[in-house]
Chains A and B, each alone.
Chain A
Amino acid sequence: MKWDWNAVGDFMPKFWDGLLVTLQALALGSLISFALGLVWALLMRTPSRWVRWPVGVVTEFVRNTPLLVQLFFLFYVLPEWGLTLSALATGVIGIGLHYSTYTMQVYRAGIEAVPVGQWEAATALNLPVTRTWQVVILPQAIRRVVPALGNYVIAMLKDTPMLMVITVLEMLGQARLFAQEHFQFTEPLTVIGVAFIVISYLASLLMRSLERRLVR
């Protein structure tokens, strides 16, 4: 096994570019999944089953099918429907949508974990529905779910390499490009592999401290 430090040095500028794209995709994907997941979770609590049923089916479908194929779908089908987005935007939407179907379960559990007494108190104080949600239920629910959401952010980080298949040059995309140009596969692939381990380990430390502060 030959390890070439020069190749590592040559790859590093590309690596930082890739890292930036990965983090961008991760940040935007997380925002979409947090927002959309909350929307799904709230829709699943509406009294009408004509809302609950379609939302349930669609999210179940998205959750049980590969993100890779969903990305292909968005990348090749959206332009046919007249919606042309950049590859990164398509990828961010794909990841955000896919993970929103997971975060909705987290929110659901968080909302259910709010004690019944809180609901009853809100009713007793004659709070309107929107205000009950805004100032009583959601602040307590979201506080509980932050660590679990953080878990999904880390899971999302590990799915960002899939954006490579729709031509986004994130870490793996950069590594593959470099490897094909220089015929050196070992160094770039190992560098990004280690980078993933380091980033997800650091993120898990961060999550642990967040968990200690928020969940008591």
Chain B
Amino acid sequence: MTSGLWELVLKGIWTTVQLLVFSSLLAAAVSFVVGVARTHRLWIVRFLAGVYTEVFRGTSALVMIFWVFFVLPPAFGWQLVPMWAGTLALGLTYGAYGSEIVRGALKAVDPAQQEGGIALSFTPWQRMRLILLPQAVPEMIPPFSNLLIELLKGTALVSVMGMGDLAFSGNLVRLALQESAEIYTYLLLIYFVIAFLLTRVMRGLEKKLKAGVGKAPERGVSAHELKRAQTTGVGGHVA
């Protein structure tokens, strides 16, 4: 490969990383807002958050990307920059998966903790901020880590829209060199390395957060093995 082509690949990696950072931030924000809303005491808030989750995890991420690129501009008169359109589509879709993680972790906190907060006459917001979240967040890290890998894999979808990410630049290089096997192997290896680094970072974060609440990180494969985020809300774990 010539240096010019390598430069193209490097640019692709940079776009993929940027997209990954932006969309994971949006997804995290959406997950927390929607996940917390699903534990709200007003039924209408819970209902709306539930509808959001069902709708956004019901569609395919690629269909969502098409929708944001082609339907949103004529419908609302916005023409988004590809980077933001990609961020929006991926962030909203993966945020819906993430909201289930947040909801599950909040539900898993010992109810006595919640009752203790009520007994001390904390406001709901104080209970959430001071009691529930500090205990729930460390538990969310392993599933979020899996979701982050899924998101990384999802960023490749924007190449279909002609955005110059890693998969797209790989395709350009293939057209230039006509050596599919070699180039796609490199491409997969680069994705694998990024995924590996992300897992390491998330494991470090888990260790740090769990130490903060006096727990050791989970040992063993099952805690960290990559699972697809729950798509249906049933049959999540094998009893």
- Confirm or deny: B160 has a beta carbon within 8 angstroms of a beta carbon on chain A: yes
Complex contact B231–A69 (CB within 8 A): no
Complex contact B228–A61 (CB within 8 A): no
Complex contact B153–A1 (CB within 8 A): no
Interface residues of B in 118-157 (CB under 8 A from A): 149, 152-157
Interface residues of A in 48-70 (CB under 8 A from B): 61, 63-70
Q: Given A68-B156, A185-B71, answer yes or no on A203-B54 (Cβ-Cβ < 8 Å).
A: no
Complex contact B58–A155 (CB within 8 A): no
B169 → chain A closest CB, angstroms: 12
Complex contact A69–B235 (CB within 8 A): no
Q: Which of A102, A159, A160, A197 contacts B55 (CB 8 A)?
A: A197
- Confirm or deny: A42 has a beta carbon within 8 angstroms of a beta carbon on chain B: no
Interface residues of A in 183-212 (CB under 8 A from B): 185-186, 189-190, 192-193, 196-198, 200-201, 203-204, 207-208, 211
By beta carbon, the residue of chain A nearest B160 is A165
Complex CA–CA separation, A175 to B67 (angstroms): 11
- Confirm or deny: A145 has a beta carbon within 8 angstroms of a beta carbon on chain B: yes
Complex CA–CA separation, A179 to B67 (angstroms): 12
Q: Given A1-B74, A69-B167, A109-B238, answer yes or no on A154-B231 (Cβ-Cβ < 8 Å).
A: yes
- Confirm or deny: B171 has a beta carbon within 8 angstroms of a beta carbon on chain A: yes
Complex contact B58–A72 (CB within 8 A): no
Chain A residues with CB below 8 A from B188, complex form: 61, 65, 69-70, 73
Report the stretch among B1-9, B29-37, B205-213, B219-227 that lies at the interface: B219-227
Complex CA–CA separation, A179 to B64 (angstroms): 15
Interface of B is mostly: helix
B117 → chain A closest CB, angstroms: 33
By beta carbon, the residue of chain B nearest A104 is B225
- Confirm or deny: B181 has a beta carbon within 8 angstroms of a beta carbon on chain A: yes
Complex contact A155–B231 (CB within 8 A): yes
Q: Given A64-B226, A65-B195, answer yes or no on A158-B61 (Cβ-Cβ < 8 Å).
A: yes
Complex contact B235–A64 (CB within 8 A): no
A169 → chain B closest CB, angstroms: 15
Complex contact A147–B187 (CB within 8 A): no
Complex CA–CA separation, A19 to B56 (angstroms): 20
Chain A residues with CB below 8 A from B15, complex form: none
- Confirm or deny: A151 has a beta carbon within 8 angstroms of a beta carbon on chain B: yes
- Confirm or deny: A113 has a beta carbon within 8 angstroms of a beta carbon on chain B: yes
Complex contact B63–A204 (CB within 8 A): no
By beta carbon, the residue of chain A nearest B233 is A204
Interface residues of A (CB under 8 A from B): 1-2, 61, 63-70, 72-73, 76-77, 80-81, 102, 105-106, 109-110, 113, 144-148, 150-152, 154-155, 157-162, 164-165, 172, 175-176, 179, 185-186, 189-190, 192-193, 196-198, 200-201, 203-204, 207-208, 211, 215
Nearest 6 CB-CB pairs, A to B?
A147-B235, A204-B232, A197-B58, A66-B156, A185-B70, A76-B180
A-B contacts besides A77-B181, A185-B71, 20 pairs, CB < 8 Å: A64-B153, A66-B156, A67-B153, A77-B184, A80-B181, A105-B227, A109-B222, A147-B234, A150-B234, A151-B228, A151-B232, A158-B231, A161-B60, A162-B157, A189-B63, A196-B60, A201-B58, A204-B233, A208-B232, A211-B235
